Amino acid sequence: MRFDAILWPATGQDRRDTSRAADTRDDHTHRGNDRISQIRRIHTQGERMKIIRHPKDFAAGLLFAAVGVAAIVIAANYPLGTAARMGPGYFPRILGILLIVLGSALALRALKLQGAPIPRWHWKPIVIVLGSVVLFGAIVNSVGLALSTVILIVLASSASPEFRPKESIISGIALAALSVAVFVIALKLQLPIWPQFD
């Protein structure tokens, strides 16, 4: 038994105020629980309606499929040929079909597997890589395939935050040797290996 209730007995007004305060607290509690339940229902419905679970793979799949369609459309103006005697449009069409199949597989996979959202674009690495490719095309005939390949690899590697000049130069020399062996020696392409001095 509480001694304060004995010393100061509650009046009728006090009991009514206490009851009213308790009802108010219960009402706020019920409203809070209703809001929490509503938020949970909305969140659950949003998760169910979220069809694309892996946005990164889905975007990559669409990109592959788009490049494949473009390759097929461009190659449509060239003769196909046969497997034994391939025409200029044979390889681009086969490559386009493979890219479409790969892109479709990635897009369908993104509907089932959970993954991270698409990260924020970093324009500086994109500009550096594309600029290095454009520079390679501009200087390959005058500087030569070997040095142009080394320059391309070093400049493109500098776009990475883990860029190491020594490793990039070694990789560039190795790829330059491979490029000369494949394109100049094996395929007999008319590309200068070293700089041309007139």
Tens digits of per-residue pLDDT, 40-76?
A: 655 444 444 467 777 888 888 898 999 889 988 888 8
Predicted TM-score (pTM) of the model is 0.49
| Residue 151 pLDDT level (bands cut at 50, 70, 90) | very high
pLDDT for res 95: 85
pLDDT at 10 over 90: no
Among 6-15, 19-28, 84-93, 102-111, the range scoring the smallest mean pLDDT is 6-15
pLDDT for res 69: 92
Q: Tell me which H or E stretch contains 64.
A: helix 55-75
Structural domain boundaries in the chain: 3-49, 55-110, 123-186
pLDDT at 191 over 80: yes
CA 65, CA 99: separation in Å to the nearest integer? 6
pLDDT for res 154: 93
- Give the DSSP letter string of 5-52: HHHS---HHHHHHHHHHHHHHHHHHHHHHHHHHHHHHHHHHHHHH---
